[in-house]
Structure 1
Amino acid sequence: MDLLRDPAAPNHHDRVHSVVVVGAGILGAAAAFALAARGHRVTVIDEQAETPSASDAAFGWVTRAGSAAAGPARSIPELERVLADTRALLGRLDPTPWVSWSGAASWAETAQETRARIAQSRSGMQLMPSGVRSLTLPGLRGHASAIAWAADEAILDAAQYRSAMLDQAVALGATLRPGRVLHVTPLPLNSYRVLEESGAAVECDSLVLACGVGIPKLAAQLGGSVAIDSSPAARFTFTAPDLEVTAVVSTPQFEIRPDGTGRFVAAEDVVAGEPEETTVMRARASLSAVRKAFGLAATPEPEALTIGWRPIPAGRALVCEALPDHPGALVLAAHPGITLAATLALRVADWAADRAHVS
């Protein structure tokens, strides 16, 4: 099935179905775009609707296979579709955000562990051929016997991706409202009233809660119980004139990618509440490992370091389902959001289409 129908096609239902999306992060933006492209009347409400989102600090790796450094392969059925769905969604954005389908290289602490990860993978991960290594990872020292390679994965600019989807949704008729949602109330005929902090209210046929750590409070107002954890990660950039890698490189010591401008992006997990100096030390240790791995003349300095808080459904990778007592209120949260955004946007659009048929 196509990710999105032709926006010029007529609606398949007589009355326009209205949907409020609470949250304009990467998942909310993708859902808004898909819903608007299906012909629904969409309103997106977010405190940061017109300012940078936490999603903009994402590493920006669209991955089906994951990393050999991260442990056993993930078992998430939706991952089988993420690359094709992301390509389809990107193909509908104008202008298209920067993206490079340059693949991803990774390894574990030992060659034996790396080979085991490859053997466990059912998502296109293989041993990197020597010819690919010389082109993709020039200058790499060691790790010759086992590098995991996923050739069809992508890197993109998360901020551009999110902004492009919101802009396209607005071009298709969606309304973007800066504001904080205080309360959601069920109305007759399975519809909803969304009250903002300003006192303004919006009524809708269907409701998508895509506001990360704000989901539990709003879901509870509708009798639902949803647990969302929050995990911090650091993102920073660096320059290294003698580093020529062209793909994601994910290892136990560092995770880096090119950004399309001659610079590089790096990511590091951090401990909640740790001092900024500790986070900077982590970043410097990561870049010291990059220097050693690729024989760089000097250790790069971390620049533009930011901390992003990743909303992660407790005990699972994603939730994209209606609340038990409210078929018109859907909860949307996932990690990694960049990877799953397009696939989950399709699911949200299909759910809304089913709602429109019965409303």
Structure 2
Amino acid sequence: MVRQVVVVGAGVYGAAVADTLTRRGARVTVVDAGAAAGGTSGATFSWLNSCGKQPRAYHDLRVAGMAAHRRLAAEVPAGGWYHDGGNLEWAADHAGAERLRRKVAGVLGYGYEARWLDRAEALRLEPDLAPAELPADGIAWFPAEGWVDPIRLIGHLLSASTGRGAELVDGDAVTDLEVAGGLVRAVRLRSGRRLVADAVVNCAGPQAAGIAALAGLALPMRNTRGVLIYTAPAPVAVSRVVHAPRVHLRPDGGGRLLLHSPDVDDAAYPSETGEFAVDRSAVEAVLDAVRALLPGLRTMPVESIRPGPRTVTVESVRVGERPIPGDGLPVLGRVVELPNFHFAVSHSGATLCLHAGDLVAREVLGEDVDDALAAFRFERLAVDPDHSPKIQ
């Protein structure tokens, strides 16, 4: 019987797994090398969607993840982390418009909500957008999508878990896993502490491969960097996720905007201190794009801006590391050769965490959820030419 579970990682997955485990009576210790929500979960666009995702099993998992967020928000209406309103998207050229049309046709074929809007309809949803930046028609609206504040969500889930007796150990990295008799027996921390475990759940995000290696498992990962730009409070109203051709944005509370562009991701580089820095010209290009899209940013009061024509200011630029398993799909659930070691690792953890984390936790406690997790097992990535699992 599983009584004591060690969850490695205090991001959205670790918090969600711990929540289900403690609700079902398990004793849980959540460990993190840094602070809770201090890794990828603290630097994410956190867009809730299943917009053009393949294969169908992955799409369905994400749709279930979106539904789990809506349920939790209904149960805790004062939580403040869940924001609906949908997602607007349009293209700048013919090729982009064709890709968007194919994406909309594909999701409609899956029964996913999508509508085509013209410029006037889009402006009724987002009246502060510059009309000249919008095409006359061909604007896609995905009304079931939204975004979450991951820090507040993690805070709620960890608070609920510790209220049921879970222990949070932060600032103490996992240094070893004791494996004997085909099971993980204990987790060792940098502090010297030894945590006896009936089960271990690897929710370590970008560091998941390192934790797996301690158990003798080879988890292929192809992590990427993501750059996010957080503005100071700005006198414009943005109510939902917007994917414009040159900038992606959403509100971020307190009048702030969160900005992203795929182009700026490539501008991150290691600095002399070991931290990541971002080329300033790439950040300015994103700001120029959002100023064009939101004319109200050009009329900010003088006392709240820098001198000169650039009228939107930046509070912070964060570089996050996106955890992406080798084939791009989640790795979820138990390992066949090490059945008390479980994974909860994926890109788009904000969308998936509540539903996928619940499934993983239920399997940890012995429930049969194989139908839901079969497509996302570790073994699909860990097969030698002779089809035997890669156990180092």
Identify the TM-score tier after normalising by the shorter chain: 0.7 to 0.9
**Partner residue of 1:134 out of 123, 133, 156:** 123
Distance in 2 of aligned mates of 1:173 and 1:94: 24
**Which residue does 1:149 correspond to in 2?**
141
Partner residue, 1:336: 348
Once residues 30 and 119 of structure 1 are traced to their aligned partners in structure 2, the CA distance between those partners, rounded to angstroms, is 33
Task: State how far apart, in whole Å, the 1-side matches of 2:294 and 2:77 are.
Answer: 37
- The partner residue of 1:214 within 176, 200, 207 is 207
Aligned-residue offset at 1:16: 6.1
1-structure distance, mates of 2:319, 2:184: 37
Matched AA of 1:62: L
- 1:279 maps to 279
Out of 34, 41, 54, the residue aligned to residue 20 of structure 2 is: 34
Cα contact 2:236–2:297 (8 A) shared by 1: no
Per-residue deviation at 1:249?
A: 0.4
Conservation of the 8 A alpha-carbon contact between 1:57 and 1:159 = no
Deviations 1:102-161 (A, max 9, x none): 111112333443323211223322213666523322133232311111112222212111
**Which residue number in structure 2 is paired with residue 256 of structure 1?**
249
CA distance in 1, matches of 2:245, 2:118: 21
Task: Check if 1:82 corresponds to 2:94.
Answer: no
Q: 1:189 and 1:224, CA in 2 relative to 1: closer, same or farther beyond 3 A?
A: closer
Please tell me the residue identity of whatever aligns with 1:291.
R
Kindly state the Cα deviation for residue 187 of structure 1 after the two structures are TM-superposed: 4.1
TM-score (norm 2): 0.78
Q: CA separation in 1, counterparts of 2:63 and 2:297?
A: 40
Q: CA deviation at 1:315?
A: 1.5
Letter in 2 for 1:61: W
Cα gap change, 1:137/1:167 in structure 2, threshold over 3 Å: closer, same or farther?
same
- TM-score computed with the length of structure 1 as normaliser: 0.85
Matched-pair identity in %: 26
Counterpart of 1:6 in structure 2 is none
State the shift of 1:50 in Å: 5.1
Output aligned runs, 1:186-201, within 5 Å.
186-188=179-181, 190-201=183-194
Change (3 A) 1:34 1:300: same
Aligned partners of 2:10 and 2:37 also within 8 Å = no
What's the secondary structure of 1:229's corresponding residue? coil
Superposition deviation, residue 101 in structure 1: 1.1
1:247-298, Cα deviation, whole Å (9 max, x unpaired): 1101331111112322211123412526777533222212211222343462
Partner of 1:109: 92
Where does residue 371 of structure 2 map in the other structure? none
* Distance in 2 (alpha carbons) for counterparts of 1:242 and 1:74: 38
Note closer, same or farther for the CA distance 1:114–1:188 as it changes in structure 2 (3 Å cut): closer
Name the SS of the counterpart of 2:269 in structure 1: coil
Please tell me whether the aligned partners of residues 117 and 137 of structure 2 are also in contact (alpha carbons under 8 angstroms).
no
- Report the equivalent of 1:4: none
Q: What is the rounded CA distance, in whole Å, between the counterparts of 1:99 and 1:249 in structure 2?
A: 16
Show CA shifts across 1:23-48 (max 9, x none).
11111111111211121111101122
Structure 2 segments unaligned to the other structure (5+ residues):
299-310, 369-392
Where do 1:218-229 residues align within 5 Å?
A: 218-229=211-222
Q: Are the aligned partners of 1:18 and 1:42 in contact in 2 as well (CA < 8 Å)?
A: yes
Q: Does 1:320 align with 2:332?
A: yes
8 Å Cα contact 1:21/1:42 also seen in 2: yes
- Per-residue deviation, residues 72-110 of structure 1 (Å, max 9, x unmatched): 543313112111111223445586143221111112333
How many Å separate the matches in 1 of 2:15 and 2:242? 28
Instruction: Classify the secondary structure of the residue corresponding to 1:85.
Output: helix
Q: Do the aligned residues in 2 keep the contact of 1:284 with 1:302 (CA within 8 Å)?
A: no
Deviation, 1:321, is 2.5
CA distance in 2, matches of 1:274, 1:190: 38
| Consecutive aligned runs of 4 or more in structure 1 exceeding 6 Å deviation | 274-277
Q: Distance in 1 between matches of 2:122 and 2:217?
A: 50
Distance 1:234 1:216 in 2: 22
Residue 216 to residue 326, structure 1, CA distance change in 2 (3 Å): same
Structure 1: 5+ residue stretches without partners: 1-14, 66-71
Equivalent of 2:47 in 31, 47, 61: 61
Distance 1:171 1:278, change over 3 A: closer
